[in-house]
């Protein structure tokens, strides 16, 4: 069997494994590396050259920038600014969609989804079905916005990288906008209209305000974070806070249903039952039931402090969640009575419980299944959780009570984009320079940066990138291109065929695999038929990017949306609608524009 046939066979096997969804994507990448070496397509000394591709560095650096953006609470602040608009149902979809699309265009798709989906759910909480509609808009808008720039989607990054290998230079930041901007605008409009007007599956019942998970004593440690929809926490109102003199009714209204005042502690002992018109006074301690994001926004806006924070709240401290097991020795005792806080220097920031109101956080008697949000030195948190008899959940990188650097991550991303746009540095190195700046200025913790990197995706790319090169080097791509050229299609027809093929392969397997398998065909086809290959590159990138959920966070976002009450059938329908819209609008754009 010739090397060209082997390369095509490996490509078919990889696509079949990815389409089956039964094999992890990193396992597929590792199998590809072994297959390429064992068949002689790649020398063993060059087995890991895929990891040296600039696209891999771009994906890793972009993920680190996303972690910095998540820590800033930028999108939550934008939602606060847009809160008067979000109260109007007719304006809510366009406002959320525009913010989500712009964020996605500049590589912040995952942090935008993580921040805006809860905001969409909370904003529309009082209207039946409106929360699900708002979430559909956010999901579709982030997918549409990614079509506009090179940073918007993983396929755009990969096509740009492969274009550099094939023709000598990659895409600039806004090159995909030549074809993607009008299509993104059409897709955004379709998503906003369809989210509100189509008949969707009835949303699942909303989760209780304070959710909890009971874990048996014999259960193994949990590797994935459990989402606590609401927790009870205590905040101290200093004399200079903007909350002084404000009524509880106004406070809860401004939180759009994401926050409830359970009690007011005044003079350290007077517990006041909350009434809507009761004014907040300086030095009050508010017992709040709310989501972590709503709590963080309130702390920053009103200059509050968490009453349960440890005394040595340092920059390197961490925040974790832990579930109290039935086997704990401290059941029926309060957190103060355990002495764990004094012994390990940790504080109790919040407590999640499904029933029973909590009067004072640190004096509440602990029960099996309680979710404790602990803060303190990172190295002490596992020992503190073990001393309490808790199972530690994966760290959620919560920033409760910490001042968030809002401007620095934005400035770093803008600086990286400027360096790449003016040709000072390649895109991958420009993004890396931005990450280094964030680390030096302590706007991003190293552990947060490493935790954000989608390692399974990088392993997949380690196999797909040399496979893509092998398709070119062995002549397999030229062989297929010759067969396609025999059909006598014009340049427009070939671009349309590649758009359809890219969208189909992305739907069956992944956008990354679709892009890297089809891109080697573009340059030989253009050379043989004598036209510019750029429309073919853009068509492949557009079709491969027509996915509702991005690969680095696909499974996690799917689980999060279903858990939030958005049925999986809605995600499937929305994904098909998005793909169909991109296909139709893409074919129309190619017809109107035509290859250069």
Burial class (CB in 10 A: 0-12, 13-18, 19+), 87: middle
* pLDDT(208) > 60: no
* Mean pLDDT value of segment 204-218: 36
Position 219 scores a pLDDT of: 33
Q: Label residue 525 by pLDDT band (50, 70, 90).
A: confident
Q: Which residues contact 595 (CB under 8 A, 6 or more apart)?
A: 491, 492, 495, 531, 532, 534, 535, 536
292 vs 207, which has greater pLDDT? 292
Q: Which residues contact 530 (CB under 8 A, 6 or more apart)?
A: none
* Mean pLDDT value of segment 176-191: 92
Q: Which residues contact 579 (CB under 8 A, 6 or more apart)?
A: 503, 507, 546, 547
pLDDT in tens, 89-148: 888 888 888 988 988 888 777 777 777 777 777 766 666 677 788 888 988 998 899 999
- 231-236 vs 347-352, strand pairing mode: antiparallel
- 259-266 vs 285-290, strand pairing mode: antiparallel
- How far is 437 from 433, CA to CA, in rounded Å? 6
Question: What pairs with residue 318 in β-bridges?
Answer: 376
- How far is 234 from 217, CA to CA, in rounded Å? 29
Q: How many residues does the chain have?
A: 596
Secondary structure of residue 511 in the 3-state scheme: helix
Quick one: tokens of 406? Answer: 């809002």
- How far is 528 from 551, CA to CA, in rounded Å? 34
- How far is 34 from 24, CA to CA, in rounded Å? 16
Quick one: tokens of 569? Answer: 């059938």
Position 400 scores a pLDDT of: 56
- How far is 41 from 471, CA to CA, in rounded Å? 10
- How far is 585 from 180, CA to CA, in rounded Å? 10
Position 248 scores a pLDDT of: 83
Query: Is the separation of the CB atoms in 60 and 98 below 8 Å?
Result: no
pLDDT in tens, 404-448: 556 788 889 889 988 988 888 888 999 999 999 999 988 888 888
Position 563 scores a pLDDT of: 52
Please write down the HEC assignment for all residues of 248-291. HHHHHHHCCCCEEEEEEEECCCEEECCCCCCECCCCCEEEEEEC
Position 316 scores a pLDDT of: 56
10 vs 285, which has greater pLDDT? 10
482 vs 77, which has greater pLDDT? 482
Query: Is the separation of the CB atoms in 391 and 326 below 8 Å?
Result: no
- How far is 396 from 240, CA to CA, in rounded Å? 31
Give the Å distances, CA to CA, from 471 to 22, 50, 412, 537: 25, 14, 37, 16
Q: Where are the beta strands (DSSP E) in 439-596?
A: none
* Planar angle of CA 455, 516, 9, nearest 5 degrees: 100
341 vs 158, which has greater pLDDT? 158
Whole-number percent of the chain with pLDDT over 90: 25
Q: Which residues contact 356 (CB under 8 A, 6 or more apart)?
A: none
Quick one: tokens of 308? Answer: 């349960």
Query: Is the separation of the CB atoms in 12 and 5 below 8 Å?
Result: no
Give counts: helices (H), strands (E), the chain: 24, 9
* pLDDT(55) > 60: yes
Position 125 scores a pLDDT of: 61
Position 559 scores a pLDDT of: 55
* pLDDT(311) > 60: no
Position 422 scores a pLDDT of: 84
Which element (helix H / strand E) includes 531? Answer: none
pLDDT in tens, 213-245: 333 333 333 333 334 456 788 888 888 888 888
Average pLDDT along the chain: 81
The string over 369-400, giving b where at least 16 C-beta atoms fall within 10 Å of a residue's C-beta and e elsewhere, is bbbbbbbbbeebbbebbebbbbbbbebbbbbb
Query: Is the separation of the CB atoms in 526 and 566 below 8 Å?
Result: no
* Mean pLDDT value of segment 503-527: 90
pLDDT in tens, 328-368: 888 888 888 888 888 888 888 888 876 555 667 777 888 88
* Mean pLDDT value of segment 529-540: 87
- How far is 535 from 591, CA to CA, in rounded Å? 11
Position 223 scores a pLDDT of: 32
Q: Label residue 251 by pLDDT band (50, 70, 90).
A: confident
Query: Among residues 381, 587, 420, 487, which one has the least CA distance to residue 62?
Result: 420
567 vs 518, which has greater pLDDT? 518
Query: Is the separation of the CB atoms in 284 and 339 below 8 Å?
Result: no
Give whichever of 103-107, 381-385, 456-460 has the largest mean pLDDT.
Answer: 456-460
Position 215 scores a pLDDT of: 32
Position 410 scores a pLDDT of: 85
Position 18 scores a pLDDT of: 92
- How far is 506 from 41, CA to CA, in rounded Å? 25
562 vs 568, which has greater pLDDT? 568
Position 156 scores a pLDDT of: 93
**Radius of gyration of the chain from Cα atoms?**
26
Position 596 scores a pLDDT of: 46
- How far is 534 from 529, CA to CA, in rounded Å? 13
Q: Which residues contact 367 (CB under 8 A, 6 or more apart)?
A: 324, 331, 332, 353
End-to-end Cα distance, the chain: 39
Please write down the HEC assignment for all residues of 37-89. HHCCCCCHHHCCHHHHCHHHHHHHHHHHHHHHHHHHCHHHHHHHHHHHHHCCH
């Amino acid at each position: 069997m010739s090397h060209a046939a082997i390369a095509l066979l490996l490509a078919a096997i990889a696509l079949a494994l990815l389409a089956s969804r039964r094999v992890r994507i990193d396992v597929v990448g590792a199998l590809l590396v072994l297959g390429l070496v064992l068949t002689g397509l790649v020398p063993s000394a060059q087995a890991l050259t895929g990891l040296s591709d600039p696209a891999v560095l771009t994906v890793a650096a972009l993920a680190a920038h996303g972690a910095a953006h998540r820590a800033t609470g930028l999108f939550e602040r934008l939602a606060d600014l847009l809160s008067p608009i979000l109260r109007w149902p007719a304006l809510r979809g366009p406002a959320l969609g525009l913010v989500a699309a712009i964020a996605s265009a500049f590589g912040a798709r995952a942090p935008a989804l993580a921040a805006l989906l809860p905001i969409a759910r909370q904003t529309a909480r009082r209207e039946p079905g409106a929360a699900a509609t708002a979430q559909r808009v956010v999901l579709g808008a982030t997918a549409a916005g990614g079509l506009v720039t090179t940073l918007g989607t993983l396929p755009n990054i990969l096509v740009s990288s492969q274009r550099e290998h094939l023709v000598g230079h990659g895409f600039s930041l806004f090159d995909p906008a030549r074809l993607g901007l009008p299509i993104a605008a059409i897709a955004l409009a379709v998503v906003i209209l369809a989210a509100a007007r189509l008949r969707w599956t009835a949303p699942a019942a909303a989760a209780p305000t304070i959710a909890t998970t009971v874990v048996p004593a014999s259960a193994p440690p949990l590797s994935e974070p459990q989402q606590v929809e609401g927790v009870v926490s205590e905040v101290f109102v200093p004399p200079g806070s903007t909350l002084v003199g404000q009524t509880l009714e106004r406070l809860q209204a401004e939180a759009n249903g994401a926050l409830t005042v359970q009690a007011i502690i005044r003079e350290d002992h007077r517990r006041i039952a909350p009434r809507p018109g009761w004014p907040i006074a300086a030095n009050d301690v508010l017992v709040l039931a709310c989501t972590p994001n709503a709590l963080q926004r309130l702390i920053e806006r009103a200059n509050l402090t968490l009453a349960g924070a440890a005394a040595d709240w340092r920059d390197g401290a961490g925040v974790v969640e832990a579930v109290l097991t039935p086997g704990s020795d401290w059941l029926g005792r309060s957190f103060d009575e355990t002495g764990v806080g004094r012994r390990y220097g940790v504080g109790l920031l919040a407590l999640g419980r499904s029933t029973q109101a909590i009067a004072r956080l640190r004096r509440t008697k602990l029960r099996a299944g309680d979710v404790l949000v602990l803060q303190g030195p990172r190295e002490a948190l596992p020992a503190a959780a073990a001393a309490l008899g808790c199972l530690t959940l994966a760290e959620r990188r919560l920033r409760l009570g910490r001042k968030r650097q809002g401007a620095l991550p934005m400035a770093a991303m803008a600086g990286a984009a400027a360096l790449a746009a003016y040709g000072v540095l390649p895109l991958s190195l420009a993004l890396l320079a931005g990450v280094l700046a964030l680390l030096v200025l302590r706007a991003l913790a190293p552990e947060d940066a490493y935790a954000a990197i989608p390692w399974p995706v990088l392993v997949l790319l380690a196999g797909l990138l040399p496979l893509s090169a092998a398709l070119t080097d062995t002549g397999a791509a030229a062989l297929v291109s010759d067969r396609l050229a025999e059909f006598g299609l014009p340049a427009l027809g070939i671009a349309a065929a590649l758009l359809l093929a890219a969208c189909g392969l992305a739907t069956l397997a992944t956008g990354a695999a679709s892009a890297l398998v089809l891109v080697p065909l573009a340059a030989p086809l253009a050379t043989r038929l004598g036209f510019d290959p750029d429309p073919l590159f853009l068509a492949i990138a557009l079709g491969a990017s027509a996915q509702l959920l991005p690969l680095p966070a696909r499974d996690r976002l799917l689980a999060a949306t279903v858990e939030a009450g958005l049925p999986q059938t809605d995600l499937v329908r929305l994904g098909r609608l998005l793909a169909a819209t991109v296909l139709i609008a893409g074919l129309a754009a190619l017809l109107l524009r035509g290859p250069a």
